[in-house]
Amino acid sequence: MSGNSPHNCVGTVIARHDCWSFLKGGFYMNSVSTPTLLYFQNFGDKQITITISSASLQPFTKEEWSFQQEYKINTERKRAVTIHVSNKQGVRLPGAVVRVDQVSKDFPFGSAINNYIIGNLPYQKWFVERFNAAVFENELKWAATEPKQGVYNYTLADNMLDFVRANQIVARGHNIFWEDPKYLPSWVLNLTNAELELAVKRRITSLMTKYKDEFVHWDVSNEFLHFNFYEEKLGQNATFKFFKAAHDADPLATLFMNDFNVVERCSDSNSTVDAYISKINDLRRFGVWMDGIGLESHFDVPNLPLMRAILDKFAILQLPIWLTEVDISNKFNHDQQATYLEEVLREGFSHPSVNGIMLWSALHQNGKCYQMCLTDTNFNNLPAGDTVDKLIKQWQTGFVKSQTDEHGAFSFYGFLGEYTVTASYGGKTTNSTFSVSRSDETRHFSIQI
């Protein structure tokens, strides 16, 4: 669609001549009495002919949409578990008291943090009570770690990593290179092409050697769809070489591209799911395998049908998908932000191909956040924080307690993760641990007293 179009974009595709292209989108229709016209428009000025085949339009009520979300959560994020309790001779024990506690969650759900959290015990306590994943807002970016050429400073990142390690939090590395020249160190902009090539090699070596095995992910190329600083300076294969060098430096890290306006809306040809997939295919042709899809997810008014359609299309690639920087525009009041945030988080968590969600809500000393704060400066929840707490509670098993049946068994549905189990019978008690991973089959676990 044209950028000047007054109509709502509900789906895009990069179509090619003489072949079929798959277009999937979605939209809200607020009134059945108001006529709705779907039409196709090309970005360019050329006259084209479009042939449509196998068109399908599936309506959902809000209730049906919510029901499907819950169904997916129950089938994809939870699993049936049966605990068998017996004595040392293997005889099953009916009436045994069993308590099961979830001690960790399989799904990474976290937020951005910044150096304000260093030594800030109230902030640290608030964060650890909620999240099992973190990403550094700016402290790993090139402008922060090498503000002057050849002068490296990892102090803030090191201190933040100490906090992450101490609390067994999964951390994403953000980012190695940012394609937008506005956010590069000022000295980089003045380098010759040959000097820049040497500087990026030193950047990868310095960063990846220091933090090898520390970060589960690296955003190797940030906003590659919208900007191309390095390609203009070093050639069209520059970013592909970054991926290869990053993999060589830390082979166990999952390497991501990370970009905006892909899942949030369809506004221009550079930010479509097809443009992203095209970049992935370009990497593969160059012999580089990108491991993960990062979707920044800076939302205005969420279009959930479009969001699901885009996630469905990415899912075909069978790559990990993360919502990496989720927030809601600050043009909305706190209550509206919370409402939209819940919609986005439920849609993301219910999609089976989404492997993790990160909020972009790092609190600064002045009480400001990029767009959306979860708390005030005293770490009292704002409405968005209350929404996060509500969903965290809903998306964990907590604990369950009951007695075994006549077969010496006790069953429940639990969210994926790690559990402890305590079984008591006849004055004896025993403890054990077990894990619940994704599967369609019931998880059977036996414990002897």
Q: Could you report the per-residue pLDDT of 164-218, keeping only the tens digit for each? A: 999 999 999 999 999 999 999 999 999 999 999 999 999 999 999 999 999 999 9
Instruction: Identify the active-site residue in 223, 264, 296, 343.
Output: 223
Question: 58-67: long-range contacts (C-beta < 8 A, 24 or more apart)?
Answer: 59/29, 60/305, 65/304, 66/346
Compute CA distances 405 → 82, 245, 445, whole Å. Answer: 11, 57, 15
User: How far out from the chain centre does Cα 215 lie?
Assistant: 15
- Confidence (pLDDT) at 357: 98
- Confidence (pLDDT) at 31: 64
Every domain of the chain with CATH number 2.60.40.10 lies at: 75-102+397-448
Is residue 406 part of the annotated active site? The answer reads no
Q: What would the two tokens of residue 114 be?
A: 């910044």
- Confidence (pLDDT) at 1: 34
Spatial distance between the Cα atoms of 65 and 303, rounded to a whole number of angstroms: 13
- Sheet containing 97-105, strands listed edge to edge, beginning at the edge strand earlier in sequence: 399-403, 97-105, 417-425, 428-436
Q: What is the pTM of this model?
A: 0.94
Instruction: Identify the active-site residue in 137, 139, 325, 343.
Output: 325
The CATH number of the domain covering residues in 75-102+397-448: 2.60.40.10
- Confidence (pLDDT) at 372: 98
Is residue 223 part of the annotated active site? The answer reads yes
Domain 108-394 CATH superfamily? Glycosidases (3.20.20.80)
- Confidence (pLDDT) at 4: 45
- Confidence (pLDDT) at 6: 58
Spatial distance between the Cα atoms of 422 and 414, rounded to a whole number of angstroms: 16
Segments of the chain scoring below 50 in pLDDT: 1-5
- Confidence (pLDDT) at 32: 62
